């Protein structure tokens, strides 16, 4: 998975000019999983990996849910591979019609696997989980392509949801280093950022939220 991310251009590294994230914080590494959806062969591999993960961990669910918007294509591929129905979850209700957060048929008691592209601190998943539970369905598992390992697992655990990533940031860094895709000084810079994000920001005069 680490190699696929790199070869499809989903990974961007910039130590001198770090990327600003949706949270407002900065990072020397940016992962754009949306780049993966344009490569059919890559999506086939991701789908197969997801199938294997679900089978090997014995995950039980009735329906696959994609989070708006990045999770939807991954959920579509996975639901097709597993012959499971699919829904998608909106970030906010439409301003017209039924005003539903859940698009598709989600019944009371359905066990849901939430699929997303990436997780950082996990806060953006709370709305999706609340919408699923608001529909009186059950959710205990979330599958993501990439885990930035910045508190997402712990946050989901607090909501009684288990995280299942196909790739983690620390694992990817180790693999990229072994494949000589990133130099040692860049590897250390990213590791420094992971170990102490606030200190990393302060050292560069960047605000930290």
CB 36, CB 10: distance < 8 Å: yes
Domain range for 159 is 2-203
Using a 10 angstrom Cβ sphere, with 0-12 exposed, 13-18 middle and 19 or more buried, the burial of residue 107 is exposed
| pLDDT, tens digit, 9 for 90 and up, residues 135-144 | 999 999 999 9
| pLDDT, tens digit, 9 for 90 and up, residues 72-114 | 999 999 999 999 999 999 998 876 656 689 999 999 999 999 9
Residue 139 lies in a domain: yes
CB 90, CB 108: distance < 8 Å: no
Residue 179 lies in a domain: yes
Closest residue by Cα to residue 120 from 7, 27, 190, 6? 27
Residue 144: in which H helix or E strand, if any? Answer: strand 138-147
Cβ atoms < 10 Å from Cβ of 120: 22
**CATH code of the domain covering residue 68:** 3.40.50.2020
pTM > 0.75: yes
Domain count, the chain: 1
Residue 209 lies in a domain: no
């Amino acid at each position: 998975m680490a190699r696929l991310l790199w070869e499809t251009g989903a990974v961007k590294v910039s130590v001198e000019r770090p990327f600003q994230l949706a949270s407002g914080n900065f990072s020397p590494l940016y992962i754009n999983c949306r780049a993966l959806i344009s490569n059919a062969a890559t999506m086939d591999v991701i789908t197969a990996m997801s199938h294997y993960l679900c089978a090997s961990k014995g995950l039980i669910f009735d329906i696959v849910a994609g989070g708006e918007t990045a999770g939807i294509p991954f959920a579509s591929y996975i639901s097709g591979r597993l012959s499971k129905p699919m829904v998608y979850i909106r970030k906010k209700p439409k301003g017209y019609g039924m005003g539903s957060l859940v698009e598709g048929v989600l019944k009371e008691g359905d066990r849901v696997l939430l699929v997303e592209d990436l997780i950082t601190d996990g806060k953006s998943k709370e709305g999706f989980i609340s919408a699923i539970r608001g529909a009186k369905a059950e959710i205990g598992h979330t599958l993501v392509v990439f885990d930035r390992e910045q508190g997402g697992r712990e946050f989901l655990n607090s909501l009684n949801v288990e995280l299942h990533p196909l790739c983690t940031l620390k694992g990817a860094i180790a693999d990229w280093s072994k494949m000589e895709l990133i130099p040692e000084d860049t590897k250390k810079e990213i590791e420094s950022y992971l170990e102490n994000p606030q200190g990393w920001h302060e050292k560069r005069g960047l605000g930290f939220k």
